[in-house]
A and B are shown apart, each in its own frame.
Chain A
Amino acid sequence: MGLPLVESALQWNSGILNANRDPKNDDVEFQITRLYSRFHSLDKGENGALSREDFQRIPELAINPLGDRIINAFFPEGEDQVNFRGFMRTLAHFRPVEDNEKSKGHDASEPLNSRNNKLLFAFRLYDLDRDDKISRDELLQVLRMMVGVNISDEQLGSIADRTIQEADTNGDMSISFSEFIKVLEKVDVEQKMSIRFLH
């Protein structure tokens, strides 16, 4: 429990490190301990890292339409193991934005739970080939996962087209990350991509 815990505590806390962290400290400590035990219970191989199979064992993820995509988001490119630090790093995206963090503005190191990073996480769910663009095909795949079988491929295609139209400003028929941010600027991402208990 020793090393990874400290490491990830730093990671976790990066947002509030320089703020006064006293009141939060216990809370954070507690959260990390909790998540660490969860990490352990998921880690069936007991090698201090999670594999894809470990995630896939979670029953609810199997019925989550985006389950596999989200599992993938935990793994850095090209790797199939994630240690506790990486695990926490991904989860940190979902911490609610604190007031003091919000007011801090653009620091050199943007916290993982900033609006942009939250959006980037969502963006990566679509962007399979990591070319920083959501192409029509990529969008179609996600759409197919998320809508029922009632919708025909043609309809889905036009939905995808329409979606791209809405976001696409430079006319390349794909959504870049900046376009993605722009089109979602009115969405309350801070709220919709945060989980209450992950303080």
Chain B
Amino acid sequence: MAVLRRPECLLLTALLLFCWPYSSSALQWDEDLNVELRDADNATAETSLNKQGNQTEHAPATIDTLPIVTWKWHHVEAPYLVALWVLVCWLCKLVFELNHRVTNIFPESGLLILIGFVLGGIVWGADKKATFALQPTTFFYYLLPQIILDAGYCMPNKLFFSNMGAILVYAVIGTCWNAGAVGISLWGCYEGGAMGHLEIGFLQFLLFGSLLSAVDPVAVIAVFEEVHVNEVLFILVFGESLLNDGVTVVLYNVCDAFVSLGAAKINAAEIIKGIISFFVVAFGGALVGVIFAIILCLLTRCTKNIQIIEAGFIFVISYLSYLTAEMLSLSAIMAITFCGVCSQKYINVNMDERSVNTVRYAMKVFANGSETMIFVFLGISAIDPAIWVWNTGFILLTLLFVFVYRIMGVFFLTWFLNKTRLVPVETIEQVIMSYGGLRGGVAYALATVLDPVKIKEKNLMLCTTFLVIYFTVVLQGVTMKPLVKWLKVKRSAQSELKLIEKLNNRTFEHTLCAVEDICGRIGDNWWIRGWNRFEQKWICRYLMKPSARKSQDYLFGVFHQLNLEDAVNYVSEGERRGSLAFMRSEDAASVDFKKKFGTDMSDIMPDIMVNTDFNGLDVSIRESVPSVSLEIHENDTKNLRNNNDVNVHHLLQQHLYKSRKHHRHKYSRSHFSINQSEDEVQEIFQRTMRSRLESFKSAKMGVAPAKKISKHPQKDRQQKMSNGKSLDKSKAHPYGDEDFEFSDGNSASGGEAATYQTPYYYRVAGIVNRAFMPEMDTPPTMRTPPWLSQAETDGSVAPSQRAQRSLPWSPSNIRRLAPLRISNRSTDSFIMADVVKPPENPEDRVA
């Protein structure tokens, strides 16, 4: 248990300690666990052989001789089992994901439950006793939070809040309706004699109804994600399932309290208290979540210096919000949902882009992992004859009522909501919504928490809950996809991001606002706008980094994103075709891009700075599609031609340098990024690279271009100094068609202003010639000393690591490839195809 309290293990324990209770509850662990292990994982069969060794461990510590190796199963038992179970569950997923034909028909969640049956059967067969079952504590503390957090964090906020009203109606009223109707109807049937004699009173029926009322987000996500319904439908079902978990737990607690009180003590005052507590708990939970979200945002404002663990804060703080709400007996699910929903926007801009990615991926790993385990354990836990109490009337009626009341609830509420909705929910969608009322882990966990002392028929309820879960998850889950197809529900259109769409969405919003103003009515748009203003003015001010705040521009963000996509496609296309040409242009482009931002725009667009600076690896490569990015910075583009001769040189530097850096920092725990220690990097760079490159080139590429390259730092510069632009131009041409064409394409985009004067050129080349600096008409900030410019080159070098991956690592390979790139133009054919005929390609013309 000690492990549990160590805060630094919080994240790990969340996953790893999930089955602590099972092992600790199994008192005869010594025998049982060995059997368990053998069955759960055949590979560990020898553990039973070592039982003796295991037992000797308990023996007093008197030893005769120094043991070289001792068997310490006892020490690692709990975490070991946890890890093994995690492994087993994930392996299950792996196994059936091998065959896509099965998963196409059968939803994953249902399959996992079935596999759980098998595993549970094995355990049972070995043990004659259900040793492992999903404990409610484990479920609520270690498995559920990350799923809900993931749901909240990845929530499409705009969609969620614009449908908030409907979601709340479904979640609150719908859930109460489900709980009440199921409970009362069951009670009525019981009174009518439909299920024989049971020791269940009216309140117990209500309690049972309330625990069955929640649509489970885990099951819903699992099924609906595979189905791809349209986004409004999805957000309605999903948002409902997310919020009604909180509602269910609250409802359950109220009913539970009523049951404890006993029917005699319940009067109007208690009922009113119950209703009040319902709202306090639900909204209090949301409030706790918002508070923690604010803390989180404030924290991420100042984590710049500890980027390596800043992603961890998200998890810790959110988990704390969950626990805090639990501690205050507020709705923990609501808390963590709102923590995720409210903080996502701000932390995503506050944090480094890599941290954001880390958070996203880690979140998915946790959520998907525990989702898998929940389903597997829903299967395993069922294999326990002790809980299977059959009562045909009770079980069948429950199934029927759950199903029917869900449909009734949805249709009634939708009818009501459609009166005010701009776009009504269609009948078909209502069918899907009611059919999507999947029950899951929450219902099960609540059923296991039932106190057998107060509720005599706990096992019957548990077993009914199981059946409801299986019925909904497996049967409805399987039939969901065909149903969606058959009913022709509007699917989500997977449209690519388009700038013009975003632009028009903005236009529409403004237009609607204006029209509302003209009509003099306060409508939705008025509220949305009011909120946006408030957010801009106050919230962003306090919760966002000042630097991030400035860079916030919606359209530009979209544009940026599009460029990234394009560039990725571009680069991968280049790689696919086996041409290395893209590297050259990319090289220049990314360098330019970075230079541009690095100097005069650094205060305006820091996030892009960050990308190029630190996240360079992936991002700046993407920044570099000539047709688009280059063209952002027309000045830079014009330089391209000048840069071309340098690029080869530069590229080489990059690669060699990269591998070195890679080496150095692999082991470092705090410097994940190779770019962060620039001093060091510079040092190496200064000391070793230059000399190595010189010798390398003169030895291997003794052809004319190579000579030029090796010499150009001084010579080119001088020539240019004396002759000016014309010479520069003429120099560019001999390098080949592509250079020429490049210049053509570029000149289309802008005038022939003294392009080579910009300092990028020199920086790119990594040249130490300062004589040129004064003649450049650039802002003073750009006149950085050569060593600094070296460092920047280095920063921009990072991007090509990606490209490097496709490039052979060893120096000999580079040598082999490099001359090829210089001399053999045919390899560059792909990029030239773009550049040579600008008129044919609209993109190029723009460039």
Contacts and interface: CB of A to CB of B under 8 A. Distances in A.
Contacts of A91: 515, 518-519
Nearest to B498: A166
A123 to B, nearest CB: 9
A2 interface: no
A150 interface: yes
B556 A184 contact: no
A193 interface: yes
Contact of B422 (A35, A147, A187, A191): A191
B562 interface: yes
Nearest to A67: B514
Contacts of A58: 517-518
B846 A64 contact: no
Interface stretch (B628-636, B793-801, B820-828): B628-636
Nearest to B508: A192
A155 B508 contact: no
A132 B559 CA distance: 25
A154 interface: yes
Contacts of B520: 38, 41-42
A162 B559 contact: yes
Interface string A117-149: 000011001100000000000000011001110
A60 interface: yes
A107 B822 CA distance: 64
Contacts of B605: 150
A23 interface: no
Interface string B499-511: 1110111111111
B778 to A, nearest CB: 15
Contacts of A34: 521
B553 interface: yes
Interface string B621-653: 000000010011110000000000000000000
B634 A154 contact: yes
Contacts, number: 150
A55 B518 contact: yes
B510 A158 contact: no
Contact of A65 (B422, B424, B510, B633): B510
B632 A155 contact: yes
Contacts of A159: 499, 555-556, 559
Interface string A158-175: 110111011110010101
B804 interface: no
Interface string B180-214: 00000000000000000000000000000000000
B514 A147 contact: no
Contacts of B842: 165, 168, 171, 173
A131 B640 CA distance: 38
Given A66-B507, A187-B505, A155 B513 contact: no
Contacts of B604: 150
B2 interface: no
B719 to A, nearest CB: 30
B843 interface: yes
B513 A64 contact: yes
B495 interface: yes
A186 B495 contact: yes
A124 to B, nearest CB: 11
A162 B422 contact: no
Interface string B311-326: 0000000000000000
Given A61-B517, A66-B511, A150 B420 contact: no
B236 to A, nearest CB: 15
B269 interface: no
Size class of the A contact interface (CB-based, 8 Å): 35 or more
A153 B605 CA distance: 14
Contact of A196 (B506, B524, B554): B524
B511 A70 contact: yes
A183 interface: yes
Interface in B475-533: 493, 495, 498-501, 503-521, 523-525
Contacts of A3: none
A28 interface: no
B423 interface: yes
Contacts of B632: 154-155, 158
Contact of B518 (A61, A152, A191): A61
Interface in A61-95: 61, 64-67, 70-71, 74, 91, 94
A131 B424 CA distance: 37
Nearest to B512: A195
B551 interface: yes
A183 B503 CA distance: 12
A198 interface: yes
Nearest to A98: B424
A34 B522 CA distance: 13
B507 A142 contact: yes
A1 B358 CA distance: 64
B456 interface: no
Contact of A195 (B420, B424, B515): B515
Given A71-B514, A96-B423, 18 more contacts: A38-B518, A60-B517, A66-B510, A70-B514, A70-B518, A94-B515, A99-B424, A122-B507, A125-B511, A126-B507, A150-B553, A151-B556, A158-B631, A159-B499, A159-B559, A162-B559, A195-B523, A195-B525
Closest 9 CB pairs of A and B: A60-B517, A70-B514, A66-B510, A161-B846, A186-B495, A192-B508, A38-B520, A158-B632, A163-B499
7 contacts: A38-B518, A61-B517, A122-B507, A143-B555, A168-B842, A183-B501, A184-B504
Interface of A: 34-35, 38, 41-42, 55, 58, 60-61, 64-67, 70-71, 74, 91, 94, 96, 99, 121-122, 125-126, 142-143, 146-148, 150-152, 154-155, 158-159, 161-163, 165-168, 171, 173, 175, 183-184, 186-198
